[in-house]
Chains A and B, each alone.
Chain A
C-alpha cells in the first residue's frame, strides 16, 4: 500500500476538490430549487429564455463558459469588480472562483432533477393541505418539499459529481494554481504533462473513482430511505 500514500500536494488537490464541489453543491441548492419551482409551476413571458439560460452551460464548450465567467466575474469584469469592491468577494484565481465555475456547470443538472420531481407532485395534495389551513409557504414546506426530497438529493449528487469532474471552465476561469485552484482533474492533467508523473496521475485517478463511487452509493442510500418514507 506504500504506493498509495498521497503526497502533500496530492492531498491538497483532493481536499480542494471536495471543498469546491461541496460549496458548489450547497450554494446552488436554494437558487436551484427556486428556479426549478418557477420553471415547473409558472407561466410567464420569457420562460423559454430562462430555461435556455439555465441549460446553456450544458451545451456550450466548458472553455466558453469559463471565459464568459472570466469576463463577467474577473477582477475587471462588471460583476467581479462590483463584488470585490463592495463585499470583498474575489473570484478570479481563487478557490471561490473554482466553486463558482463548478456551480454554474452543475446547475442545469440540479435544476433538471428537481424540476422533474416537482412536476411529479400531485397538486391535489397541495390543494388538500390548503383546505386544512396551510398557507402557500406552509404547503411548500410541509407537502411539496418532503415529496420532492428524492429529486433534490438526486440533483445535489449530480451537481456534486459534475463539480468533481469539472475541468475546462475551471482552468479557463481560475487557472491551475496548486493549493488554490488546482482541483483533482487539473492535478491529474498536470501530472500527465510532466515526465515521471504517471504514478501520481494514477493515484489521483484511483481517488477520483473512490470518491465518485462513494457519492453514488450515498445518494442511492438516501434516495431509497426517502423513497420508502414517502411511498409507504
Chain B
C-alpha cells in the first residue's frame, strides 16, 4: 500500500499545506490539537474538498488537481472511524455492522463478519441500539463497521479521545490486533504521544498546518523536540525490548533492548514476550565517567553523535549506545561544563522508575 497525499487549503485561521507518502501498516498523523490533522484525513476520505489536492492510493486516484479529478467519498472504499463513532441511531449494532458491506461489490468483500465480531468482542452487543452502548462499546462497533465494508484503507480520527482512561485501555489492544492481524493499512490521527508510541509503525509529524517530520516511528519521535513546547515534554526514544528476567524479590523486570539491558519497575511482559519502552529525553542524565554509588540502575555507555540547540536553556544530545540511539535533554550550562561535543564518550543514566512502556 502506498498512500500519497499532497494538499493545500485555506481555512479562516489556518493554512493547510501538507504533502507526505505513507506505506506503513499504521501511519500516525501526530501533532497538537488544531494543527489540521483531521482535515487531512477528511480530505483522504473525500469529506473535505481542499482548494488543491492530489491524493492517490496505490493505483487509484482519489483527487488530482491537474486532471480535475475528485472521487466522491462513496466511491473511495475508505473506512473511517470517527472520534464520535457516528453509529446510525435508528439501526441495531448488527445493522450498523452490515451497512457498509451492503454497498461493497461482492468481488471486493474480504472482511468476514464472524471473525470481525470475534476480534472486537461484539457478539453480546449485536441486537442493541447505539443509544444503549457505552463509549468504549460504540467505538468498537464503529471500528467493526469500518472493517466490514472491506476498506482499502482505514482512517481513524482520535478514536480514543472521547474515552476515559479505562475505556482507552479497553480499546488499545484491539487497535494493536487490527494493525498486526488485519491486512488493511491504517492512518491514525492522534495528539497523544503514548498512543502513537504504542501503535504507530510510521509517523507524520504535523505542526500548524505543515508537515514537520515524517518517517518510521523510531526516527521521528526524537525529532519531537522541535515540534513545540506541548509535545517537546514527551520527546524521547522508543526501544523495542524482549523479556529477559524477572526478579520477584525486588519486583524488577530486566529487558533486553538494542541499547543493552534495561531494568524496569514491576512485572512487564512475560518470558518470550516483547514490549516497547519509552525513554523521555528529559529523563536521561549524562556523565563523563561511569557513575558509582548512584541509585539509578540503567547506565548506558555510548558516544555523543549530535547536538541540537533548543529554545531556552536546553540542548538535545543524541547518543549512540549499543545498536541504537538515546536522546538526552540537558542544560546548555551542563553541556559546556562537561565538554559535551560530538565524538565524546559519555554515560547515559536513566532512573529505573522513569522507564515506562508507552501509555502508562
B-binding residues in A (CB < 8 A): 122, 124-125, 127-136, 138-139, 142-143, 146-147, 229-232
Chain B: interface residue total (CB-CB under 8 A): 28
A136: which B residues are within 8 A, CB to CB?
A: 74
A131 CA to B149 CA, complexed, in Å? 10
- Judge whether B88 and A131 touch: CB under 8 Å: no
Contacts of B129 in A (CB 8 A): 232
Query: Is there contact, CB below 8 Å, between A231 and B89?
Result: yes
- Give the contacting residue for B90; candidates A132, A133, A147; CB below 8 A: A147
CA distance A142 to B102 in the complex (A): 12
CA A142 to CA B88, docked complex, whole Å: 10
Question: What are the residues of chain B within 8 A of A127 when measuring CB–CB?
Answer: 47, 73, 86
List 17 additional A-B contacts (Cβ < 8 Å) besides A128-B80, A128-B88. Answer: A124-B82, A124-B84, A124-B86, A125-B88, A125-B89, A127-B47, A127-B73, A128-B82, A131-B73, A131-B80, A132-B99, A132-B100, A133-B100, A133-B102, A138-B103, A142-B88, A147-B89
Which of chain A's residues has its CB closest to B79's CB? A131
Q: How far is the CB of B186 from chain A (nearest CB, A)?
A: 15
Q: How far is the CA of A93 from the CA of B72 in the complex (A)?
A: 51
Question: Which of A124, A127, A147 lies at the interface centre, i.e. has the most chain B CB atoms within 10 A of its CB?
Answer: A127
CB distance from A32 to the nearest CB of B (A): 21
Kindly identify, within residues 22 to 45 of chain B, every residue whose CB is under 8 Å from any CB belonging to chain A: 45
B residues 138-184 near A (Cβ < 8 Å) are: 145-146, 149
Chain B neighbourhood of A130, CB < 8 A: 46-47, 72-74
Q: State A146–B95 Cα separation when bound (angstroms).
A: 14
Q: What A residues does B79 contact at CB under 8 A?
A: 131-132
What would 30 A/B residue contacts be, using CB atoms closer than 8 Å?
A124-B82, A128-B80, A128-B88, A130-B46, A130-B47, A130-B74, A131-B46, A131-B47, A131-B80, A132-B99, A132-B100, A132-B103, A132-B145, A132-B146, A133-B74, A133-B77, A133-B102, A133-B104, A133-B149, A134-B99, A135-B72, A138-B74, A142-B88, A142-B99, A143-B88, A146-B90, A147-B89, A230-B89, A230-B90, A232-B131
**B360 close to chain A: CB less than 8 A:** no
The residue in B73, B79, B129 that gathers the most chain A C-beta atoms within 10 A of its C-beta is B73
B89 contact set on A, CB distance < 8 A: 125, 147, 230-231
| Contact A129 to B88, CB < 8 A, known contacts A134-B103, A138-B103 | yes
Q: Taking the nearest CB of chain A, how far is it from the CB of B150, in angstroms? A: 10
Chain B, 47-79, contact with A by CB distance < 8 Å: what is the 0/1 string? 100000000000000000000000011101111
How far apart sit A219 and B131, CA to CA, in the bound complex (Å)?
A: 24
The interface residues of chain B lying within 8 Å CB-to-CB of A124 are: 82, 84, 86
Distance in Å: Cβ of A124 to nearest Cβ of chain B: 6
Using Cβ atoms and an 8 Å threshold, which residues of chain A touch B45?
131
> Which residue of the partner chain A has the closest CB to B132?
A232
Query: What's the dominant secondary structure at chain A's contact region?
Result: helix
A143: chain B residues within 8 A (beta carbon) = 88
What chain A residues lie within 8 Å of B131 (beta carbons)?
Answer: 231-232
Residues 332-354 of B contacting A (Cβ, < 8 Å): none
Q: How far is the CA of A122 from the CA of B129 in the complex (A)?
A: 17
Which residue in chain B gives the minimum CB-CB distance to A229? B90
Minimum C-beta distance from B39 to chain A (A): 13
Chain B residues lying within 8 Å of A131, measured Cβ to Cβ, are 45-47, 73-74, 76, 78-80, 146
Contact check, B104 vs A128: say whether CB atoms are below 8 A apart: no
Interface positions, chain B 89-128, Cβ under 8 Å from A, are 89-90, 99-100, 102-104
User: How far apart sit A130 and B88, CA to CA, in the bound complex (Å)?
Assistant: 12
A135 CB, nearest partner CB in chain B, Å: 5
Nearest B residue to A128, CB-CB: B86
Query: Whole-angstrom distance between the alpha carbons of A143 and B99 in the complex?
Result: 11
Task: Take A127-B47, A232-B132 as given contacts and tell me if A135 and B74 are in contact as well, using a CB distance cutoff of 8 Å.
Answer: yes
In whole angstroms, what is the CA distance A224 to B286 when docked?
A: 70
**Chain A nearest CB, measured from B83 CB (Å):** 10
Write the nearest CB–CB distance from B79 to chain A, whole angstroms.
Answer: 7
CB-CB under 8 A from A128, the residues of chain B are 80, 82, 86, 88
Q: Roughly how many angstroms separate A174 CA and B84 CA in the complex, as a whole number?
A: 55
Chain B residue numbers with a CB within 8 Å of A138 are 74, 103
Distance between B4 CB and nearest chain A CB, rounded to angstroms: 20
